[in-house]
Amino acid sequence: MTALATQTSSKRRLLLASDRTDQSSELASILKIVGEVDTIPTSEIPEAPATQVSGIVVDINLRSPESVQLVRNKLRGDAYRGVPRLFVLADALHHGSMQAWALGATDTISRPFNEEAILRRICAAFPDTIRFDATERGRALNRGVAAAQSVMTRIFEKLPAGTPLKFSDILESENKILRAIKQTSLREWLNTVGRHHTDSYRHCLFVTGFAVAFAQHLGMREDDQRRLTRAALLHDVGKAFVPVAILDKPGTLTEEETRVMRMHPQLGHGALADEGSFPPEMLDVVLHHHELLDGSGYPDGLKGDQISDIVRLTTIVDIYAALVEKRAYRLPFTHNEAFATMEKMAGKLDYHLLQAFRSVALGTYTNGPKL
């Protein structure tokens, strides 16, 4: 039994629809750790889900036209509009992934099953229905996290499978994210996304949380807060094209792996620039968030005034978030250790912005989110 098993299991109710019930028993057992599960054949998916259902898990043969069409017919009605749906992939091939997204997947999991990974995806994709509706504060936090999760899914699942990311996808999420952190706290945001997301998701959402809190602390205009939120969400979009074996490697990267990893700014910039709807400052952040003031960054070795303010802000929260996150190869830095480490990066980071970030990093200011 994993640590996630300590979460309340009586609140979340899931529908597991399967055309391979003989192979779904293991998945059902895992799902029961965090919720009540009703397992039914896909042919018996009801016309409308029960009001207490948090979401539906679909385990079908995505290579079978009959199975795909059956599920499409069952889930296309208005009653299932907005119901989170998670699809099981039998392999990592794009065909199954693209079929799942075409059927309205909000997330996917893959065989062979990894219990811990599945539980994290379930907790992220399907809210605990009682806690989700408990208070306006709680609803705001859950809506914000769900909106951010939706963007991460588009980046790390749909984009590599060939579905373009659009600027409108980001606009739909930013209001909920800003409201979530404003109405709750940075601490609650970090605690929530820190529990429920894999490494790449978690890092982007940590950066987003710190960026929003920093923007609010600086008293930025609403439009500028939105710009920084979008930039933080998208800054690592290029990692969607980096092999998972490199992204999740629990140790030091080889020289070749480092070269591949360092391609992510150009890969992300290229994908968004080709789509055509993203504003220049967002493309700037995606391409240049690893640039440093002394010219030692990458990919273009920019110096000083060649680096825009929004990039300088994003670089600070990006580095800080990476330091305070737990990684497979090291324990997280404390907030004091992380900030002290960044203070030693004299000449590389904007000194005045870094000092302004101190209050956010160490949680000492009183009129905004606290750590």
Domain final residue, candidates 134, 169, 201: 134
**pLDDT band per the 50, 70, 90 thresholds, residue 367:** very low
Domain CATH code at residue 173:
1.10.3210.10
Residues 129 and 150 grouped into a single domain:
no
How do residues 191-247 score in pLDDT, each as one tens digit? 878 765 567 788 999 999 999 999 999 999 999 999 999 999 999 999 999 988 888
Report field, pTM of the whole predicted structure over 0.85: no
Q: Say whether both 40 and 170 belong to one domain.
A: no
Mean pLDDT of 317-331: 85
Mapping DSSP onto H, E and C, the string for the chain reads: CCHHHHCCCCCCEEEEEECCHHHHHHHHHHHCCCCEEEEEEHHHCCCCCCCCCCEEEEECCCCCHHHHHHHHHHHCCHHHCCCCEEEEECCCCHHHHHHHHHCCCCEEEECCCCHHHHHHHHHHHCCCHHHHCCCHHHHHHHHHHHHHHHHHHHHHHHCCCCCCCCHHHHHHHHHHHHHHHHHCCHHHHHHHHHHHCCHHHHHHHHHHHHHHHHHHHCCCCHHHHHHHHHHHHHCCHHHHHCCHHHHCCCCCCCHHHHHHHCCHHHHHHHHHHHHCCCCHHHHHHHHHCCCCCECCCCCCCCEHHHCCHHHHHHHHHHHHHHHHCCECCECCCCHHHHHHHHHCCCCCCCHHHHHHHHHHHHCCCCCCCCC
User: Residue 94 belongs to what domain range?
Assistant: 3-134
Is 367 a member of any domain? no
pLDDT of residue 1: 37
Position 93 confidence tier, pLDDT thresholds 50, 70, 90 = low
- Mean per-residue pLDDT, 153-158: 84
> Of 89, 111, 134, which one is at a domain's C-terminal end?
134
The answer to whether residue 139 is domain-embedded is no
Least confident residue range of 108-117, 317-326, 336-345, 355-364 = 108-117
Q: Give the Cα separation of 132 and 142 in Å (integer).
A: 7
Q: Are 128 and 191 found together in one domain?
A: no
48-62 pLDDT, tens digit per residue, is 877 678 889 999 988
Average pLDDT, stretch 315-338?
A: 88
**Range of lowest pLDDT (104-118, 133-147, 174-188, 292-306):** 133-147
pLDDT band at 269 (very low <50, low <70, confident <90, very high): very high
| Predicted pLDDT of residue 355 | 95
Structural domain total, the chain: 2
Of 82-96, 104-118, 157-171, 215-229, where does the model show the most confidence? 215-229
| Residues 247 and 346 grouped into a single domain | yes
Q: Does 163 lie in the same domain as 126?
A: no
- pLDDT band of residue 143 (cuts 50, 70, 90) is confident
Q: Quick check: is 369 in a domain?
A: no
Q: Which residue shows structure tokens 């036209």?
A: 65
Stronger pLDDT, 165 or 330, i.e. the higher one: 165
Shared domain for 171 and 127, answered yes or no, is no
Whether residues 168 and 239 share a domain: the answer is yes
pLDDT of residue 365: 44
